[in-house]
Structure 1
Amino acid sequence: MNRRSFIVQIGIAILGIFFFGMYLYQPLNKERVDVAPVANAADLVRGHSPIFGPEDAPVTIVEFFDPACESCRAFHPIVKDIMATYPNEVRVVLRYAAFHPPSEQAVRLLEAARLQGKLEPVLERLLETQPRWAPHGRTPESVWNLLDGTGLDIARAQRDSLMPHIVGVLNQDATDIKSFDVKGTPTFFVNGKPLKAFGEQPLRDLVKTEVEAL
């Protein structure tokens, strides 16, 4: 075998290894982004669920959310940034997961604020003051004392928070938590597809995949 033939054969071998590696890589990459929706995905969005963003947006992020959860607080600006990135394509549906002791009262407050059209400012205030009303290891401050400047009629909200339909919201969301095997918060589904790995980047990647598929 002359030197030229030897070099050609080495080049062919290297190309073969390259293309074989690409063949192995593609299925793994496809598995990473191609996530199937959960079987009962239609039940992720209930008629009572608060919706942020366009009602008819083609990409739906469902967040199981505990207002007393520190991770939910940390993810809140991330979710808002995703909505700002895709203002016409993405909506967020909030599902309540009252895992922490102060959370039920906070959910009742949010639903009462919603009746007055004040859900968003009250939600922002609850997250801003979370260390005061949902602290770990010390007596919490009453959430009702932290609402000045939100425009909420507090006396009315306190009455409305006891309404039977709010109890129904809590009960239905608690049932769906079990149905979707939600163990912690925040738990996200994008167009019915669960995150395969928890984190900011997996959430952004799954949303981007769904938007680009439109």
Structure 2
Amino acid sequence: MYKKATFILAGALMLTAIIVIVSRPSLLGMGAETASREGAQAENSLVRAHSPVLGSEEAPVTVVEFFDPACEACRAFYPLTKRILEAYPEKVRLVVRYTPFHGDVSETAIRVLEVARRQDAFQPVLEALLARQSQWAAHGSVDEEAIMEIASEAGLNRATAEEQLNSPEVQAVFDQDKADVEANQISKTPTFFVNGELLDPFGMQELVDAVNREVAEVSGEGDAS
């Protein structure tokens, strides 16, 4: 009798479990869905695993810049983004997305920057290329020799770089960023997103204000200076 009762109770519990799962099918894939969401947050069309990051990797505020190294406006904005990172060293990070809007000259500079990233020399090479942009990007003309020379003076290993410029790995990054430019309907550089929100209206003060608001929110403050 006892064994029979135990068998009936076990059967009832199993039936109850089946009913709960059938009535709430989301429970079946809840773990997989959670993992999928976390993966999507880690990498999406705004931020890729290969994207260069300036500032703290763990910063809660992410500024994404669709950036063309041959773009004069991008050069003009760089001192501002650098000051923002210096003001919030633990709170803000800048993610750079390659955006080749100026043709061959942009593509060459982007390839050099990507190789520099792989050599842990991205920021010094970036700053050198921006500081001397008129030497290699004047009137949209390509001066690949000048680009490589400037980058080498900033710390790029030129011999290694020349071997990697047209490698499948660099090409894959270039192609992915071009696809993400199209997916996000980017039509001008620089274009900024602050914690996933497009900066609109666009402007230097608008960028500062948007970052300040996000920093204030993640800090639990009324205002951020």
- TM-score normalized by the length of structure 1: 0.77
Gaps (5+ residues) in structure 1? 1-39
What are the ranges of 5 or more consecutive residues in structure 2 without an aligned counterpart?
1-40, 219-225
**Distance change (3 Å), C-alpha of 1:130 and 1:92:** same
CA RMSD of the aligned region, Å? 1.7
Q: Deviations over 1:88-146 (max 9, x none)?
A: 10001000001112011101101111222111111111101100100017674631132
Q: Give yes or no for the alignment of 1:133 onto 2:153.
A: no
Q: CA contact under 8 A between 1:125 and 1:146: conserved in structure 2?
A: yes
Once the 2 structures are TM-superposed, how far is the Cα of residue 148 of structure 1 from its aligned partner?
Answer: 4.5
In structure 1, the residue matched to 2:54 is 52
Secondary structure at the counterpart of residue 147 of structure 1: helix
Cα displacement string for residues 59-104 of structure 1 (whole angstroms, at most 9, x for unaligned residues)? 0000000000000000000000011111110001000001112011
> 1:109, 1:74 → 2: CA distance?
20
Match of 2:78 in 1: 76
Over 3 Å counting, the alpha-carbon distance change for 1:137 and 1:88 in structure 2 is closer
**Aligned partners of 1:108 and 1:175: how far apart in 2?**
16
Contact 2:102/2:140, CA 8 A, preserved across alignment: no
TM-score (norm 2): 0.74
Aligned AA for 2:186? V
Deviation at 1:147, TM superposition (A): 3.2
Distance 1:148 1:170, change over 3 A: closer
Residue identity (%) = 48
Give 1 or 2: higher helix fraction. Answer: 2
**With CA pairs under 8 Å and 6+ residues apart, which has the higher RCO, 1 or 2?**
1
Number of positions where the alignment pairs a residue of Structure 1 with one of Structure 2: 175
Aligned with 1:122 (options 122, 125, 137)? 125
Query: Are 1:52 and 1:92, in contact at CA under 8 Å, matched by a contact in 2?
Result: yes
